[in-house]
Structures are given as C-alpha cells and as structure tokens.
Structure 1
Amino acid sequence: MTAALRPEMRADLRELLTLAWPVVLARVGIMTMGLTDAIVVGQYAARELALHSLAWAPSSVFVTTAVGLLMGTQVMTARLIGQGRREEAGAVFRRGLVYSVQLGLISALALILAGPWALVRVGLEDGLGQDAAAPLMVLALSLPFYLISVAAQLFLEALSRPRPGMWAMWIANGLNLLMNLWLVPGTSGLPVDGAVAACWATFAARLALVVFLLVYIVRMPDARALGIFRKPRRDRVVEREQYKVGVGAGASYFIEVSAFAAMSIVAGWLGGLEVAAWAIVLNLSAIVFMNPMGLSAATGVLVSRAYGANDRAGLIRAGVLGLSVTGLLALVIALVVWPGAEVIIGVYTHDPALVAIAVPALILATLFFVADGIQVVAAQALRSAADVWWPTAMHVFSYGVVMMPLSWLFALPMGMGVDGIVWGVIVASLVSAALLTGRFVRVARRMPA
C-alpha cells in the first residue's frame, strides 16, 4: 500500500502512525479504566452497574468538556514547533497547568454541590438517583488530578513524545484493576463496596497518573530549553489562540457528551435494565471511539505543525491520511464487534434479561463506528487549521438538534427502547461526519499555497 504513495505521503503516513499508536493506546486506556470499573461492578450486581453509569454520566460531561478546554495546549505547542519557536513551548504548558487546576476545582465543586440534587430530580425509577449520588461525589474529587494529567499528556503528544503518557495510563489501569478487585466485593475491611468502591479505585489511579507524568516532564533533558522552568513573557496572540482553541473544542465536547449523557436519562425513563444495557453499549462504543480520538490527536499535531509552517500541501496530506486511516480502522473494529457482540456482552453480565437488551443494541451500534470516527478527526483537523467555531456549530446541530430529539422519539413514543437511542446516534454521526469532512475540504482548498 505505502509503495503506491508519493515519498512525502509515505513519510507523513509513517509519522502519523508512529505518533498515533501510543496516543490511541493512551486514549483506550482512559476508557479501559471505566470498562474495568463496569465489568467488576457488573459482575457484583446489575443495580450497582446502573448506579455507576448514572454517576459517570454527569461526571463525563465535566471531564470531556474540560479536556476540550485544554486542547489548546496541544494545538499551540505543535504550532509553535512548526514555526521554529520551540523555546516558547514551556509557556503553553504552564498555562495549560493553570487552566487544568482551575477547571478541575470548578468542576469538582459544581458536581459535589449540584450533581446529587440533579440526579434526584430527573425522574429515574427505583431510587436510582439518590443512590448514584455517593459514587458521583467520589468521582468529582478525582477531577483536579485527572485534568492536570490531561494537560501533561497533551503537551507530550505535541512534542511527539506520546509513549510516556501511554505507559503512565496503563500503569494507572493496573492499579485501578487491583483496587477494584480489592474494594468492590466489599471484603476489603473498608466500609465501601459496589459502585462507590469502583470510584475510589479510579481516584487512586488518577492520582498515580498525574504524579508519574509531572515527574517525567520536569526530568526531561530538554525541559529547560523548552522553557518549562522559565517564567514566560506575555504573548497575548498565543494566549488568545490557546484560549480560543480550547473554548471551541470544549464547547464541541460539551455538546456531544451532554447529548450522550442525556441518552442515559432517556434510558432511565425506560427502566433499570435499560439503563444498564445502554451503559454497556455506551461504554463499549466509547472504548472504540478512543481509537479515532487518538488518531485525531495525532492528525491534529501534524496539521498544527503544517499550519504553523504555512505548508498547505502538508496540511492536506495530514488531514487526508488521518481521515483515511481512521475510517479503515473503525470499519475493521465494527466487523469484529458485530459477530462477537454476544461474547462481548457476556464479559459485562450474565443476567439473561440484560443480555437480551444489550446484544442487539451493540450490534446496531457498530453502524455508527466509522462515521463517529471520521467526524472527530475532521473536527480536530479543522481546529488545528485555526477553524475553531464551525466544528462547534456542526456539533450543536448534529447532536443537539438531530440526535437528542430523534433518540427520544425512537426510544419512547415509537417504543423501540434502547435500540431507538442507538438509531438516533447513527443518524447524528452520519450528519456530523458529512458536515465536518466537507468543511475541512473547503478550508484546506482556501489556504494559500
């Protein structure tokens, strides 16, 4: 395949894949932590799995939005490197750390104060809202640590050093698994079990993750040359761009993840088993999504560098390669998950009623894997090319205007249940992929050669 490509295309493909695979594994590691929690808790009790899902839903809104707000750290670090201003990268990282601490504290406080109140008042069945409050508050306490680790990972990825973040993430996953096995069954001697225990395991893993990454960064041989220890001079242009990229990405992420969290509420209106089934499908889909998410980060780094160097041809190559590789990978994953759906669901639960709902929903979910992957890569390529607000507008339309009402309509009035929620996601993903890919083609063509 690579022999048929032009030399510059082969070089960009090698760089994309070299950067992408550790980033993909790191992103998969993020969701594997949630998967580990879900599997261990699901084996303990189906109701505890529903509580864990309901706690993750509002937490994920804050986490994902904050990750988007920090995305300027990666984009501007890579752009400065493309401009030959490597010594200013440390200033971007320092600002990213300040943002991450601020966002983490604000998010934690908001979840602790408003989360339990909101869960009780959304009309869930069987007291699910009240019982989900405790695990939600534990997750909230871990947010400041996690967001600092995100800023560190984005910085390392922009430097083309994604492997330390990957190793740190998987070491944290190992710790999370051990803590889950110890705490969730309620035999540890500590007064926790079930969903709350799983959230404390996540807290410990996130704390370990941030310590590892910060120690690695300050010990890098070129840390001083990058300006990490030097108080940066004010560069309002770079500051504004870092802030603008973050706000645009954060708004997009907020719309998308809020829409998916709202689907958990729709599932809650259907019943406890439906919440658990949607939690499993959503968790698996999110793990799959981490593959294109990682490729979007790698694509964004290459596009940012090309944009910083005023290299139109390089920008187009990076975008086309990122979209093509992502589409192919997502298709392969869909073709594996489809026939293996029953086996995969069996890892989560052996409850026959839950399996009967979750298996067909997961099979149906494979229909949006490719479109969902393409849209996230196209959106990141656009932000990296300084087209910040169009991706946000397109996400508002696709997930706010299209997905949310369609999923509700299919699931409840039309009586399709969890399958109806998935059909809404399929339609929204196709719309988003078409709009964002078309926008990237237009932006790339308009860039001066």
Structure 2
Amino acid sequence: MENRPGYTEHARALLGLGLPLVGSHVAQFAITLTDAVMLGWYDITALAAQVLAGGFFFVVFITGSGFAWAVTPLVSEAEGRGDTTQARRATRMALWLVSLYALVTLPLMLFSARIFAAIGQTPEVAALAGQYLVIAGFGLWPAIILMVFKSFLSAVELTRIILLVTLAAVGVNALCNWLMIFGNAGFPELGIRGAAAASVVTQLASMLLMIAYIRRRLPEHNMFQRMWRPDWEAFARVFALGVPIGLTMLAEVALFSASSVMLGWLGALPLAAHGIALQIASVTFMIHLGLSNAATVRAGRALGRRDWQGMKDGALTAIAMSAGAAAITIVLFVTLPGPLIGLFLDPADPRREEVVAIGTVLLGAAALFQLADAMQVMAIGVLRGVQETRVPMIIATISYWLVGLPVAYTLGFPVGLGGVGVWLGLAAGLGLAAVLLMLWFWRRVYPRLRLSLPPEPVPPMPSPAT
C-alpha cells in the first residue's frame, strides 16, 4: 500500500510555505497601516481621505493583480511536472499584462478627485484623496510588477525572500512617512502627499530588490532575457485565467470600498472609525490570505502530479488551520476593541473618544464575519490552484453585489442601523460566498477532476519556435 503523507505532514508543508507568506502579507499591509497610523496622528481628516483614496487605489491594484495571481497556479502546475519553460513563459507574459494594465488605469488616479466629488464625498475629503492618488498612482506599476514576482516565487516555493523584502519595505515606508508627512530632518511637511510619495519610493525599491534576487538566485529561468519578444499563446492563457481572478477580487474589494463610500455619507468621524476597524480586520485577514496562497501552490502541484488524495487532504488541512485562526481573532475583537482602535489615534485629540466608541461597535460586527471571510478565501485559494476561476467569479459577484451590498445599504440607511448595518451586510455577502464556493469545490470540481483527468500529467504547452 502506498504511503501517503498524513494531515500532520500536510500541516507542516503548509506552514513552511504559508508562514512566510502570512508574514509578507501582514508586512505588506503594515505599509498601508503605517500610513493610516501616521496620518491619524497628523490629522483625522487626512486619515479619512487616505481611507477613501487607499480603498480606491486598492480596487484598481487588486483588479490588475488578477494577472499576477494567475502566475501561481500556472507555475505551480508546471513545476509539479518539472517544466521550467512553461513557468518562465507564464511569468513573462504576466509582466506584459500588468504593465499594460497600469498604463491604461493611470488616468483614473490622476482624475480621482472629480470621481470622489461625484459620489458624494465632502469637498475637503475629496480634494485630499485626489492629492494622494495623483502621486500614489505612479506607484501602481512597480507595485503590480512586484505582485507578479511574489506569485512566481511562491509557486517555486521560495517564500522567505518575499517576507524579507516586504519587511524591509515596511521600514523604508515608515522612515519616508516620518520625513515627508511631518517634515522632519529638513524635509518639507507634505501631509497626505508625503504619505503618497513614501509609498511610491517603497514600491520602487521593493521591485528592484526582487529583480536583483531573481536574477541572482534563479538564473536557470532566464526571466529577463528577450522580455520584448511576445509569446501570444502564454499571453492568452494568463489573460484567460487572470481576468476572472481579477474580477473575483474586485467583487470583494469593491464591496468594502463601497462600504467606505457609504460610511463617508455619515461624516468624517464614522468614516475614520470605519477605516480603523477595517484596517484591524484586514490585518487578521492576511493570515487566511497567506494560508490560501499556500493552498493554491499545494493544489497546483497536486494537479500537476495528479495526486487527488494529496489534494483533498491538503485542502482539508488548510481549511482547518484557517478556521482555528479565525476563532482566535474573534476572541480578540470581542475582548480588546478599545485598545486596538486607540492605537490609531492621538491621545490628545478631542475627537478620540467618539471615534473609539464608533469603531468598537464596528469591530464587534467584524467579529461576526471572521469565519465566513476565512472560509471563502480558502475555497478561492484551492479553486485557483486547480485553475477553476470563472464560476468563483460568478459566485463572488452574486454574493457580494446582489446580496451583500443591498443588505448593507438597506440595514445601514432605510432601517437606520448606520455603520453597524453596513457591516452586517458585509457579513451576509461573505457568508453566502463561503457556502457556495465550498460546495462548488467539494461537490463539483474535485469529483470532476478525479474522473476526467488521466493519471499521468498532461503534456505542457509547446514552446514557441522563436
């Protein structure tokens, strides 16, 4: 009888791959978190504007990152077959696609102040958010290129460097914020524009570090040779897989950005409290996102080997680990809301107590959807690993936009629950997505793979003659 790894071995493999990814996601988010904390100490109105602008930037960024996320399952499957040529082809064309995307979406950043004014934000907040994005928009290209490199390195299971580079980026960003937001060490005091400039510097430095590492550590992949030469077959494959991934991410992220817009209708203080509670909830979400990334790699490699039992056991292990982490964060949100929210605010600010009171209630609502949020991202991770992206896109759109957003608006405004109602609507959308995505994988996708695919790996894509 063939000896197969047990759940303990799967857990060790997931942790070995996933912990650096969790750390890198937390560190990456710490860059945004640093902006929020420093701007909260600088001026609460600037914080509210950064919440709005940061959400807008992230929506644009995460949609284009679908092409970067597509690299992970494609490279994982290729590496599972021992085919480095296909791994290189997919990564190169992903670099093409994200570069084109960054160029096309730059005008959205440059004219964002008009967009914010058109959707009902106060003139002061809209103007400040626009000032932030006119600068930060030029960081989209290095940021999204960096995502491609991170996805590639995750797929080849070199995740420690991702963590190290991201940790270095946190330090660079904090230093640049200290210099440019507050005008320390002879720098001009730029406020929210300084936070934007710091982000661009950090993204450029991180991208260059990652390029240097790949060139030195993985010369056999020849990643940067003849980058100008098109590979339309690989381009089409990355595009076909990446568009549904990007739209799936857009459906969820835009839901949270829409919630920020709705909280903006209630005023600057509720928006600031919402932004703080969302930052805290997002930090804990990074744990599940890192485990989901690891599950994508493991599922992709199992697909390349046609190891169906290994795929099943690995998926169950990842889901159980994520559920355990969710339980811990629920306890923290319920027992320590005040101290967590207070970290973001100047103790001397006269509006501090009001923001803490609003944020405490919102964080309590956030505890309701921790498990649902964890389960939906784990299901998406496993589905992405087996290159199943179109149906998850449909499920996400229905759950978040046909259920989550209407419920959030109805509870928040016609029913009159305000910010709490908006967050309860978010929980409804996430919960529905979690149930439907899990059912789709376990009832449809996994049985279909076992029955339809041959026991040996399928042949790789033919390499271009050129």
**TM-score scaled by length of structure 1:** 0.94
2:326 equivalent among 326, 330, 333: 330
Q: Which of 127, 130, 144 is matched with 1:133 structurally?
A: 130
User: Residue 73 of structure 2 aligns with which residue?
Assistant: 75
Kindly provide the amino acid, as one letter, of the partner of residue 132 in structure 1. A
Query: Which of the residues 200, 220, 228 maps onto 2:223?
Result: 228
CA contact (8 A) 1:69 1:248 kept: no
Q: Is the 8 A contact 2:67 2:94 kept in 1?
A: no
Task: Report the Cα distance in structure 2 between the residues aligned to 1:234 and 1:138, rounded to whole angstroms.
Answer: 31
Q: What are the residue-to-residue correspondences of 1:270-419 with 2, within 5 Å?
A: 270-349=266-345, 350=347, 351-419=352-420
Corresponding residue number in structure 1 for 2:455? none
2:430 is aligned with what amino acid?
S
Q: Deviations over 1:36-91 (max 9, x none)?
A: 11011101111111011111121111011112232111111101011221243222
1:145 CA drift (Å): 0.8
| 1:437 aligned partner, one-letter code | M
The answer on whether the counterparts of 2:179 and 2:187 sit within 8 Å (CA) in structure 1 is no
Deviation at 1:445, TM superposition (A): 2.2
Note the C-alpha offset of 1:110.
Answer: 2.7
2:420 pairs with 1:445 = no
Name the aligned partner's letter for residue 305 of structure 1: R
Task: Look up the equivalent residue of 1:164 and give its one-letter code.
Answer: I
Name which of 57, 60, 64 aligns with 2:58: 60
Task: Give 1:193's match in structure 2, choosing from 186, 190, 194.
Answer: 190
CA drift at 1:238: 4.8
Listed one character per residue, the Cα deviations across residues 385-442 of structure 1 (whole Å, up to 9, x for unaligned) are 1321111011001111111111111111222121111111111111111111111102
Question: Is 1:213–2:183 an aligned residue pair?
Answer: no
Q: Could you tell me which amino acid in structure 2 is paired with residue 282 of structure 1?
A: L
Instruction: Supply the AA of the counterpart residue of 1:44.
Output: Y
In structure 2, how many angstroms separate the alpha carbons of the residues matched to 1:120 and 1:369? Answer: 33
| 1:123 and 2:120 are equivalent in the alignment | yes
Match of 1:177 in 2: 174
Aligned partner of residue 262 in structure 1, secondary structure: helix
Please tell me whether the aligned partners of residues 395 and 433 of structure 2 are also in contact (alpha carbons under 8 angstroms): yes
Question: SS of 1:7's equivalent?
Answer: coil
For residue 166 of structure 1, report the CA deviation from its aligned partner.
0.7
Which deviations, in whole Å up to 9, do the C-alpha atoms of 1:195-246 show, x marking residues without a partner? 22111111111111101101000111x422x342555998766544322221
Structure 2: distance between partners of 1:6 and 1:70: 32
The one of 150, 156, 174 equivalent to 1:159 is 156
Tell me by how many angstroms 1:363 deviates. 1.9
Taking the aligned partners of 2:123 and 2:82, their CA distance within structure 1 comes to 59
- Deviation, structure 1 residue 190: 4.0
Please point out which of 7, 28, 32 is paired with 2:5: 7
Question: 2 CA distance for matches of 1:213 and 1:152?
Answer: 7
How far did residue 10 of structure 1 move? Answer: 2.7
Spell out the pairing of 1:420-431 with structure 2 (5 A cutoff). Answer: 420-431=421-432
The equivalent residue for 1:249 is 245
Q: What is the SS of the residue equivalent to 2:335?
A: coil
Between 310-319 and 274-283, report the one with greater CA deviation.
310-319
Tell me whether 92-101 or 189-198 shows the greater mean CA deviation. 189-198
- Taking the aligned partners of 2:101 and 2:22, their CA distance within structure 1 comes to 24
Whichever residue aligns with residue 88 of structure 1, its letter is Q
Partners of 1:313 and 1:237 in 2: how far apart?
Answer: 31
The alpha-carbon distance between structure 1 residues 136 and 229, as it changes in their structure 2 partners (threshold 3 A), is: closer
Distance change (3 Å), C-alpha of 1:207 and 1:235: closer
- Write the deviation string for residues 79-138 of structure 1: whole angstroms up to 9, x where unpaired: 10112212432222211222222222222233213x122011111235321222101212
Work out whether residues 89 and 231 of structure 2, in 8 Å CA contact, stay in contact via their aligned partners in 1.
no
Q: Contact conserved, 2:71 with 2:94, CA < 8 A, in 1?
A: yes
**Distance (whole Å) between structure 2 residues aligned to residue 133 and residue 310 of structure 1:** 50
* Alpha-carbon distance between aligned partners in 1 of 2:98 and 2:392, rounded to the nearest angstrom: 23
Q: Distance in 1 between matches of 2:155 and 2:334?
A: 35
Give the Cα–Cα distance (whole angstroms) in 1 for the partners of residues 324 and 141 of structure 2: 36
Preserved CA contact (<8 Å) 1:295 1:322: yes
TM-score normalized by the length of structure 2: 0.90
- Does the aligned pair in 2 maintain the 1:108–1:144 contact within 8 Å? no
Task: Name the % identity.
Answer: 27
Counterpart contact for 2:46–2:125, Cα < 8 Å: no
2:18 corresponds to: 20
Tell me the distance in 1 between the aligned counterparts of 2:126 and 2:390.
35
Please give the alpha-carbon distance, in whole angstroms, between the structure 2 residues aligned to 1:274 and 1:174: 30
> Aligned equivalents of 1:98 and 1:56: distance in 2?
25
Q: CA–CA distance in 1 between the matches of 2:309 and 2:162?
A: 30
Length, aligned pairs only: 442
The separation in 1 between residues aligned to 2:331 and 2:449, in whole angstroms, is 37
The CA RMSD over aligned residues, in Å, is 1.9
Deviations 1:137-178 (A, max 9, x none): 121111101111111111000000011111000100011111
Q: Which segment drifts farther, 172-181 or 310-319?
A: 310-319
Pairwise mapping of residues 91-110 of structure 1 onto structure 2 (< 5 A)?
91-110=89-108
Task: For 1:106 and 1:235, locate their aligned partners in 2 and report how far apart those are by CA, in whole Å.
Answer: 21
Superposed CA offset, 1:340-380 (max 9, x none): 11001110124111111111111221111111011011012
The counterpart of 2:40, out of the listed 31, 39, 42, is 42
Does the CA contact (< 8 Å) of 2:292 and 2:381 recur in 1?
A: yes
